[in-house]
Amino acid sequence: IIFLNKSYEKKFNIKLSDVKGKTNKEVFQVSVSEEYDSQIKQCISDRKVHKSESMVNGNYMECHMFPIIDKEGDLNAVAGILIDTNDRKEREIEVNNQKDILRTIIDSVPEAIFYKDRDSKFIGYNKTFEEFYRKRGITDIVGKTDLDIYDDSNVAQTFIDQDKEIICSKKTKYF
């Protein structure tokens, strides 16, 4: 270790003066030092940036290790940047939990529910919708339009026209 910035010192309660010249194994817990050493070896080997996520002191952290190469192309050192991603990661977990709840609700509704993007391509549906089409031999609907799944192109085009009308009006319609 040759440098730690003030933010790192404060976050991890480590002073540069106490760790300068020491190895990761001498400073960090075994699991942390092994992770750092693995990233450093990989970074030295392929001379590319390596990104990882881990839990450090109860916080989600994102680590970016990168080689420091001089004008002659020689590797001089490896540096790392740690970014506290705890707030973002906790929001992601909360959003995923909310998605799971919404998925459960949508799948419990006995009516067929589907949703499409602006190009009328299916991006999701509930189990009732899926079962309806599966019985008709139609699977793998995501990413397809009604034109892709219906034999009658007039019916399919009517559905696509209705989609466009709903998107433009931004109002719910029941059929």
CA distance linking residue 27 with residue 1, whole number of Å: 9
Instruction: Name the residue with tokens 């390596």.
Output: 50
Apex 20 CA angle, 14 and 22, nearest 5: 95
Is the Cβ–Cβ distance between 154 and 131 less than 8 Å? Answer: no
Whole-number pLDDT of residue 174: 79
- Beta 75-84 vs 59-69: how paired, if at all? antiparallel
Q: What is the pLDDT of residues 1-24, one digit of tens each?
A: 999 999 888 888 889 999 999 998
Look at 26-35, 46-55, 131-140, 152-161 and tell me which has the smallest mean pLDDT: 26-35
Report pLDDT for 28.
Answer: 83
Is the Cα dihedral 32, 35, 41, 47 positive or negative?
Answer: negative
pLDDT at 154: 96
Backbone angles phi, psi at 40, to 5 degrees: -65, -45
Tokens at 136, concatenated: 């008709």
Q: State the maximum Cα–Cα separation within the chain, in Å, rounded to a whole number.
A: 76
Distance CA 106, CA 100 (A): 10
Return the amino acid letter for 84.
D
**pLDDT given for residue 11 in this prediction:** 84
| Mean pLDDT score across all residues of the chain | 92
- Please state the pTM of the whole predicted model: 0.56
- The per-residue pLDDT for range 64-79, each reduced to its tens digit, is 999 999 999 999 999 9
| pLDDT tens digits for range 86-109 | 999 999 999 999 999 999 999 999
| Share above pLDDT 90 across residues of the chain, in percent, rounded to a whole number | 74
Angle at 19 between CA 35 and CA 50, to 5 degrees: 30
- pLDDT band of residue 112 (cuts 50, 70, 90) is very high
